Amino acid sequence: MAGQVRIPATYMRGGTSKGVFFRLEDLPEAARVPGPARDKLFQRVIGSPDPYGAQIDGMGGATSSTSKCVIVSPSSQPDHDVDYLYGQVSIDTDFVDWSGNCGNLSTGAGAFAIHAGYVDANRAENGMCTVRIWQANINKTIIAHVPVANGEVQETGDFELDGVTFPAAEIVLEFIDPADDGDEGGSMFPTGNLVDELDVPEEIVPGGKLKATMITAGIPTIFVQAADIGFTGTELRETINSNPDTLRRFETLRTIGALKMGLIKSPEEAAKRQHTPKIAFVAPPTDYPSSSGKIVKGEDIDLLVRALSMGKLHHAMMGTASVAIATAAAVPGTLVNQAAGGGEHQAVRFGHPSGTLRVGAEAKLVDGQWTVTKAIMSRSARILMEGHVRVPEGSF
């Protein structure tokens, strides 16, 4: 009878996500290169595809935030320490999406680079080790400022992140030139407009016209106004995720936006590009109860944002979508900027289902086009378990 293959792995929380981290050289040879073997391995590790939607026979947690795998290796790029490759594993379908980054697990990638021995913690200055990460999914640079103590990553601390139960040590991330402006350059607003008017079905908006800001900073994201689609911006997960019809309409809207952004050529392609683009809705600030029961005060935030990931409302906010929020808020005239009251914003604090998050971006107008040089946010990361994962022989 076939046995099981043991593969060195580390289970980590990064921000408000969790994933299984691998060193490239520890993977079975067939999975060290992109292709079906790698996809099948990651699916079996996570427990997908699972028609029950529970991922019981794997490491996944049956949410988009916990159905993730990461590969880290010595960097192939000059002036970088490691390459970081991220796979979003679909829960119930036979698919691994490599089209974008996970901002939350970028935090884990910085810490894991030290844990894995790729970066020497002793090179730290003033208790902080700077790790230069090449994000291989989207070919961008991320700089992680990882606290260290006694030659190791400092994981415990008093930094609190809404959506994470316990405090930990703060890791500051810098997303350098986060806009995806194409191989030949161009605007981080792929249509050239700060606000577009989409043609949508009457069931989404009476009259069939919907305003949207579409941006490619951090991760391709479609922003619409909550009020335009019948929401307040204070919704929690259960309100959205318990309604299949609502989720279907959001997916329809996401597909329309993806076509407009040029990310897909036909509606059918959206099913194979679940990770990107994201769809989010924004509103001006107001008081609301977070998922923990804590009241978020409107006076303490600049705007409200809710975003969907892999077809469901996210329990907090994706890190990459936070970059998109920060960037769009910094550009006067976008729907995100309007929700934040207009004007200039180098940083905003937004309300999400689990609480609040402060993010910043440096955006400027160059030759008539908006560009962003850097986005900054704070997260935390912690090893939850390390050792080996096991998958049945012949499963990849």
Which are the catalytic amino acids?
Answer: 102, 318
Please say whether the beta carbons of 14 and 379 come within 8 A: yes
Please say whether the beta carbons of 329 and 302 come within 8 A: yes
Please say whether the beta carbons of 269 and 94 come within 8 A: no
Please say whether the beta carbons of 7 and 28 come within 8 A: yes
| DSSP string of 273-292, one letter each residue | --SSSEEEEEE----EE-TT
Q: Which of 145, 115, 120, 124 is nearest to 133 (CA)?
A: 145
C-alpha distances out from residue 89 to 41, 65, 129, 140, 354, Å: 11, 10, 30, 21, 23
Give me 354's structure tokens: 């689990």
User: Interhelix angle for 103-115 vs 319-330, to 10°?
Assistant: 120
